Amino acid sequence: MSARPWSPTAFRAAARTLAATGQRIYQHGWSPATSSNYSMRLNDRYCAVTVSGRDKGLLSEADIMVVELANNQGASPGKPSAETGLHTQVYRRHADAQAVLHTHSMASTVLTMELADQKRLRLEGYELLKAFGGNSTHDTVLDIPVFENTQDIDALARDVDAAMDAGTITHAYLIRGHGVYTWGESMAACYRQLEALEFLFAVEVQRRQMRSRA
């Protein structure tokens, strides 16, 4: 009798956490129209990830499946999100990453589309920069790279990997017209970073909307 190579108890806990987190993210408006995908690590070979195309406002445990980190193949029933490869890239590279969140907010879309020639978004001087692991002061800079959007997720995952090699990605990256990816050592840490990012993106939009004043 062969047992599954992950703990069913760990999977169910992850599925519950992902469903609850997804509904919360949807309520913020950051996962419209079945966009976005979320995952948690199960062990050094597998993660739990959202099934492709599910309504994030109605997300339940039944919308979560298991994927093998090495090859992005489903290890439980369901079709994994098309962008699963961007989750597994993080888990393969960062042994301490326990959660990855990708959202698709208005603010990240507005900024990356309207600032169409910018390859990074700079966040500077905000108290909320302390929400990112390793920062202990507001008096710092967080540069978030912006990748051009593509449907070739394998190629994008390689580009992300290369940028991590080069040290230009620390806590998150953006994809133009598509949203943000961030990760953390726990879902709580990852979600805190996500809230900070989405808050700061929206602040950046609003500040630019003030700038034409006389």
> Smaller CB distance to a copy of itself: residue 127 or 185?
127
Q: CB of 58: closest distance to a copy of itself in angstroms?
A: 9
Q: Which chain residues interact with a copy of itself by CB under 8 A? A: 24, 32-35, 55, 57, 104, 106, 109-110, 113-114, 125-128, 131, 136-139, 149, 151, 175, 177-179, 188, 191-193, 195-196, 198-199, 202-203, 205-214
Q: CB of 159: closest distance to a copy of itself in angstroms?
A: 16
Q: CB of 3: closest distance to a copy of itself in angstroms?
A: 35
Q: Which residues contact 190 (CB under 8 A, 6 or more apart)?
A: 98, 99, 100, 101, 182, 183, 184
Binding residues for Zn(2+): 102, 104
Q: Which residues contact 14 (CB under 8 A, 6 or more apart)?
A: 40, 42, 48, 64
Q: CB of 20: closest distance to a copy of itself in angstroms?
A: 10
CA distances in angstroms from 180 to 70, 104, 116, 214, listed in the order given: 23, 7, 16, 33
> Smaller CB distance to a copy of itself: residue 2 or 151?
151
Binding residues: 102, 104
> Smaller CB distance to a copy of itself: residue 21 or 89?
21
